[in-house]
Structure 1
Amino acid sequence: YGIFSSRKIEQFARENKPAGWLIADQIPSYRTICRFRISDELATLTTDSLSQLTQYLRQNGMIDDVSFIDGTKILADANKYSFVWKKNTIRFDKMNREKLVDLLGELHEAKIVGEIPAGSELTPELLDIMISKVEDHLVVLNETVEATKQVSPNPAKQQRRTVKSQKRKLDKRRDKMREHQAQQAIYGQRNSYSKTDHDATFMRVKEDPMQNGQLKPAYNVQIATSNQFITGYRLFQNPTDTRTLQPFIEHLKANNVLGHTIVADAGYGSESNYRYLEDEFGQHTVLIPYGTMLKENSRKWQSDDRKVMNWDYHEKDDYFINPQNVRFNFNAYRQRTDKYGFTRDFKEYIAEKYDENHQLISAALTPKGYLKRISVNENWEYFKSKQRELLSAPETGQIYAQRKIDVEPVFGKMKA
């Protein structure tokens, strides 16, 4: 019915006959409804009820030992223009600190506050100390002004006016710093949040009538199903499904609802997820295709000379030969660490610059004259090969084909 507020729910229960019958005509007040919705007992009750339901379904053979995982974005009940961006906060905080340094420099030149040691970090607590020193100086100036009332123009009055202005600016900069620190605490690992719902993150959702990729406050809802029964769910603030898989799997395991076979779409296929599942859940069957799996089976991809997978590889001497007959020899092991801390291992290969007759090979050089290099991630290729093998097998391929008709209709019913 699309009713969210506690008062509206009370009104609905009072006026709707079927709703009244469901609660045995014991109409709760909106205060009772509100207390129930925000209570810790509700979260425990929901989790325990779902766990007991899953056990009952499994005991009666209504679900199997397969967990189909998928996610969707649910719009938050927040203003779509109430966004706060992390990059802006960082930029504004930097500007605020630069102005603070200039202001404190002026106060130091006036011998009102001491010099801040080089390399020390500005904090609201440090600024409180500085403000108290400015206030002490204002007390002295007030006494001087009272003692020299007859002097005109009065230099003490002019100095007091300047110091008061500096104090107001210092108060403003300190408050801004506290505001930026509070915003950083709300962000956590996110890049945005909503002013009217701090837990919501701005994401791209499918409902985009303007067709301009507008970001809206939303949550990423992850569910696990079996025979269209929801066996587990969790809300995430991450807009991408890739980073939700590992904590969601741990959640399912903790509630004893994780099936022996884990099935998800290509949005979850990443090296970090494959490695995690192999290390922590090696006894489980994982059916998660990687993002380019369908493209790699196309004729266009397999005939593309730029793809290293289409080159000839000589395992014994560890080198590649591309379609231009340029040999790429192994050079070194490399590592790359992404912003989330996951490290990938690569093997770097460099093209041979000269042929057997010591003639320069032009195809071995880039347009700027550098030697061409390629990087090969053997771990990633291993996981890709494993998924291709599993998904091409009749039994496991049939299980994966069940994914669309198992988990997708559940979201359809939720959004209907």
Structure 2
Amino acid sequence: MIKYLIVGLLLATNVWAQSLDKIVAVVNDEVILESDLQDMEQTIRQQIRQRDAAMPPSDILRKQVLERLIMQRLQIQEADKVGIRVGDDALNAALKQIADKNQLTLRQFRDVLEKDGYDFSQFRETIRDEMIIARLRKSQVEDRVVVSDREVDNFLATQKIQDGGQVEYDLQHILISIPEAASPEEVQAAQEKLEKVQALLKEGGDFSQVAAGYSDGQNALEGGELGWRKQGELPSLFADVVPTLAVGEVSQPLRSGSGFHLVRVKDKKSEDVHLVKQTLASHILIKTNELTTDEEAQQRLEKLRERIVNGEDFAELARANSDDTGSAIDGGSLGWVSPGVMVPEFEEKMNSLAVGEMSDVFKSRFGWHLIKVFDRREENMAEEYQRSKAREQIRQRKIDEEMETWLRSMRDEAYVEYRNP
């Protein structure tokens, strides 16, 4: 059974849907078929079972799944308009990464999928769609979010006043959406739906199940899960409310331009991380290009390694040979390296070395490397850590808010026709 899948992966298969296809919805100039809806519904049911979550009633689940399909189709259409594509090379690399995480070869991974009843070609195209949507969201929302130093300063100052900067909340969310320029009737309908949701929760209804059945948020079918968020990562609407809630408590309705919100604190914890393990290391890099093949770069570096083993100075050889001009001038020195700064393959090799030890020659996305570790320490980097985390928290909050607005705008501007789903 496959354990690791791309975040948000929605498997598509027509193995069990044998009935004659019919159109259940029209999205701009495309249609969604009954088989599409059944495929997605089967996948969502499997995901809910794997989470050991309560299953929403069939009619409600079907409606939610159809809405997710509509939003996916709209995003694929938008990606096509702006020219976002995912080629076969990138797709194959992603599939190999999934197989590797499951400790399988790509052939074995394909066999397991087909044994579980999934059509591999359909699976490939589903992964391609997920990658396209991820690239679209990155280009249209994430890359446009900017966090200034002043915002970081203000955030940290506010955190000091509130004295809650190290508290982290595990949140769930229900959104009852209201269209832009909604009529009084639409607002009233949303209000009635909100009251129904509140009544269900008051009667002891499971928040995850209610969210899956009634929420219009993009995480509805995951039980409204927002995951762990620090104070600065909270949407502005929630920022003052969440710290006042006890674990398990649901907020009063909060109104925004998107509609009515309910937020629940599933859990909370404190975090106090300041010490960072750093490594003092140097390296020599040989890049590959039109004039230097992989084999030639590797051989050059192997010879340099042999010269160092025989007594020549690492720094002198780095100055004379390394293609990393930034570090070469300092004899290959990278200075004190903190976790997460280097690419994973480089960091993994560096962390495996003892102080004074030199690595074997190895390859990363930048070329061929030779590393030597000179020292290690634990450094108190509280200020740097706090600023870095604050910047990321502000950025994530902005992304969440912009993403919700962007998706709602896309949905409001689209032509969507339901046909007896």
- TM bin, normalised by shorter chain, reads under 0.3
Q: Which has the higher contact order (CA 8 A, sep 6+)?
A: 2
Q: Over alpha carbons, which structure has the higher Rg?
A: 1
Task: Give TM-score, length-normalised by structure 2.
Answer: 0.18
What's the TM-score once normalised by structure 1's chain length? 0.18
